[in-house]
Amino acid sequence: MTATLYVPRDSGALSLGAERVARAIAQEAARRKIDVAVVRNGSRGLYWLEPMVEAATARGRVAYGPVRPEAVPALFDAGFVEGHPHPLCLGPTEEIPYLKSQERLTFARVGVVDPISLDDYIAHGGYEGLQRAAAMSAAQIVEEVVESGLRGRGGAGFPCGIKLRTAMLTGSDQKYVVCNADEGDSGTFADRMIMEGDPFVLIEGMTIAAICAGATQGYIYLRSEYPHAARTLAEAIAAARARGYLGANVLATGKHFELEVRVGAGSYICGEETAMLESLEGRRGMVRYKPPVPAISGLFGKPTVINNVLTLASMPIILTQGGAFYKNYGVGRSRGTQPIQLAGNVRRPGLIEKAFGVTLRDIVYEYGGGTASGRPVRAVQVGGPLGAYFPESMLDVALDYEELAARNGLLGHGGVVVFDDTVNMAEMARYAMEFCAQESCGKCTPCRIGSTRGVEVIDRIIARQDQSGNLALLRDLCDTMTNASLCALGGLTPLPVLSALKYFPRDFGLGDDAVSGLH
Amino acid sequence: MSTPNGWDKSAVSAIALELKDQPGALLLILRRLQDEIGYIPEQSVPVIADVLNLTRAEVHGVVTFYHDFRHHPPGRHVIRLCRAESCQAMGAVALARHIKGRLGIDFGQTTADGKFTLDPVYCLGNCACSPAMTVDDEIYGRVSAESFDGALASLEGRRQ
């Protein structure tokens, strides 16, 4: 009988040697004449345990990790193929507390299935959502999504159902669905995990959006930093097309939907939806004025449904289980689940999908186990490079859209980056301005010029030159950037800058007078 | 498809002609040139402009907008080190100092022997294994000064 072992092909696992582990397992199995099939799955998201190898046993999957290639012979000696004990054994995968306590809806199959096996996808409930959607009217699909309360997971949090309805109701000879897979926010990797670990869920979500809106062409705008995701998506799209899940007659509904991956060219601003459209059209990624919104006039001037990977990947479960099922997770106006990406200086970094409402403290300590360095947590940045820095004393904030907004922060794409007490927050504030200057598309002055001036002003404050004058200047500059920038890059860069200044003024070299003036 | 100076007009025009009818063709063409030649030769700009019926300025504008598009051939190996927040929280600043010292170059530069190019990158999506870098197509996580030196030694040992 063939035994099955799982070794992730996720790029995080690969970065820690998963490929060498897979090779070592194949060699050792051959040497021992043991019949082993190695499935290259996605990552479960327990990155401190990667490369994590799983054995399929009669009592379910058993995990081992982190596995070094050198440990493979000993694992075979211990009988890990049958799930027997070994110092690296973590027990049944599903019982690992980090995983067991999660509410995995969007990530239900990531790390579980073979990402490029359509049969495996279907065996795990895949394409049930599309089957249901195919039997519904477009208006009914919209209602299901509206009911779910799903909001854009890319960062803006706009209600997904409203976008879908707008595109559906706008008449046109051509419509598009575009997936924003330009996951440029540092500290985030959930889109990558979906695309590498369960690409069919994204393809299915886009297909549902397409048949609802009446779109016949889809594009996945993928950042060039994700070559592994590009390969996995290409394989999955080919498999879906070969079996009639994409193409001229999707599921024999008479609906036509083609899907293509377009790889970007290293520009952060192309994650802004209108800059992304410009880039897809083959131009400089310059932000467009809105209105018109893309759902009315988007790609090539046609109605376009644009959503982030996580948003589209949540559509299948909403259509399978119903909007009410999804809505039952979460709090207030933040419905459903949020895949939180925990990174930075933390002992147990990884992917944590939970219903909205979990506190930052639980994420950092209960899941993360505090800092990797063992030093005290000093600051936590939530929401990527445009998100606010919170001091340790504010970690009781719940991770939902409104709670974070009330504290001048944002959820963004759900990234959480932890810093220990060796961080210099003035340098982080300076870096935020520097990053904005580096990535600004240059269309609007507050962002293009303001970011460079911001670096200079912060440098002067740090150098203790006319601190009160320069502080006033920095506030004024941030005010201009916040209120007069065309898009979120210039508009939100002041969040990390001002939060660093507010909570960590001493790092800027400010004296008592200046600090008391801040509050 | 590279000639001694890396520039082959017929190859560039073949790519441009093959892709010209695709929606948003310019980025596809540039992406392909970058992937196949390793940079966008300046002489290819008028060729592409001609095929797409664009001005040279328009093509030049797109080439210079995107960080991925190089204007000169890179070294034999391209090292991209992440400079973003999560990697900084795990010591990427000190690691960058070490790597620059080791190679004797700054970000954006190529070693005098043409072996290595060092580029900054702002997130590889490997934040849970910070600090991260790539060397050519290979991704590395939890990079330390020692593991970098090890990776470098194995590259230098390889015949290229």
* Domains of chain B, start order: 9-65 (1.10.10), 77-157 (3.40.30.10)
Nearest residue to A313 (alpha-carbon basis) of A104, A18, A7: A104
- Measured CA distances, B120 to A272, A275, B123 (Å): 21, 22, 9
CA A7 to CA A72: how far, in whole Å? Answer: 12
Choose among B66, B89, B126: nearest Cβ to A266: B66
How far B134 CA sits from the closest chain A CA (Å)? 9
Contact A186 B85 (CB under 8 A): yes
Subunit contact A187:B123, Cβ cutoff 8 A: yes
Structure tokens at A413: 């794409």
pLDDT band with cut points at 50, 70 and 90 for residue A516? confident
CATH architecture of A3-100: 3-Layer(aba) Sandwich (3.40)
Distance in angstroms between the alpha carbons of the first and the last residue of chain B: 18
A349: chain B residues, CB-CB within 8 Å: 127-130
Contact B122 A438 (CB under 8 A): yes
Tell me what pLDDT residue B4 has. 47
Task: Look at the domain A425-518 and name its fold.
Answer: de novo design (two linked rop proteins) (1.20.1440)
Question: CA-CA distances (angstroms) from residue A497 to A481, A482, B123?
Answer: 12, 12, 19
Compare all CA atoms of chain B with the CA of A429 and give the residue at the minimum distance: B85
**Cα–Cα dist A71/A451, whole Å:** 50
Instruction: Give the best residue of A186, A431, A443 to mutate against chain B (max B CB count within 10 A).
Output: A186
User: Whole-structure pTM over 0.95, yes or no?
Assistant: yes
Reported as a single tens digit per residue, the pLDDT across A286-333 is: 999 999 999 999 999 999 999 999 999 999 999 999 999 999 999 999
Q: Which residue of A has its CA nearest to B138?
A: A15
Average pLDDT, chain A: 97
Domain boundaries, chain A: 3-100, 118-327, 330-420, 425-518
Interface test with A, best of B27, B32, B82, B85 (most A CBs within 10 A): B85
- In chain A, the percentage of residues whose pLDDT exceeds 70 is 99
Q: Say if the Cβ atoms of A283 and B90 lie within 8 Å.
A: no
* String of DSSP letters for A374-413: SSPEEEEEESGGGSPEEEGGGTT-BSSHHHHHHTT---TT
User: Are the C-beta atoms of residues A64 and A13 closer than 8 Å to each other?
Assistant: no
Q: Using an 8 Å Cβ cutoff, are A131 and A251 in contact?
A: yes
* Predicted ipTM beyond 0.90: yes
- Sign of the torsion angle spanned by Cα atoms A68, A73, A76, A81: positive
In A, which residues are within 8 Å of B23 by CB distance?
280-282, 300
Over residues A112-119, mean pLDDT? 98
Q: How many residues does chain B have?
A: 160
A500 touches chain B (CB under 8 A): no
- Measure in Å the smallest separation between the Cα of A281 and chain B Cα atoms: 4
* Contact yes or no for A220/A246 (Cβ under 8 A): no
**Average pLDDT, stretch A352-362?**
97
How many angstroms separate the CA atoms of A243 and B111, rounded? Answer: 50
pLDDT at A513: 75
B123 to chain A, closest Cα gap in Å = 5
| Contacts of A15 by beta carbon, 8 Å cutoff, 6+ apart | B126, B129, B132, B139, B140, B141, B142
Low-confidence ranges of chain B (pLDDT < 50): 1-4, 160
Which residues of chain A are within 8 Å of residue B140 when distances are taken between CB atoms?
Answer: 15
Instruction: List the A247-250 sheet strands across, edge first.
Output: A247-250, A255-263, A217-222, A176-181, A304-308
Q: What is the pLDDT of residues A387-435, one digit of tens each?
A: 999 999 999 999 999 999 999 999 999 999 999 999 999 999 999 999 9
- In this prediction, residue A518 carries a pLDDT of 67
β-pairing verdict for B109-110 and A415-420 = unpaired
Given 3.40.50.11540, 3.40.640.10, 3.30.420.40, 3.30.1330.10, which CATH number is that of A118-327? Answer: 3.40.50.11540
**Closest to A253 (Cα-Cα) out of A351, A353, A361, A130:** A130
B85 to A263: CB separation less than 8 angstroms, yes or no: no
| Alpha-carbon span A214 to A208, nearest angstrom | 10
In chain A, % of residues over pLDDT 90:
97
Residue A66 has pLDDT above 90, yes or no: yes
Strands of the A36-39 sheet, one edge to the other: A36-39, A3-6, A53-57, A60-64, A89-92
Q: Which residues, in sequence order, are CB contacts of A327 under 8 Å at separation 6+?
A: A147, A148, A149, A335, A336
* Domain A330-420: which CATH number of 3.40.50.2300, 2.30.33.40, 3.10.20.600, 3.90.1150.10: 3.10.20.600
d(CA B37, CA A7): 34
Residue A135 has pLDDT above 90, yes or no: yes
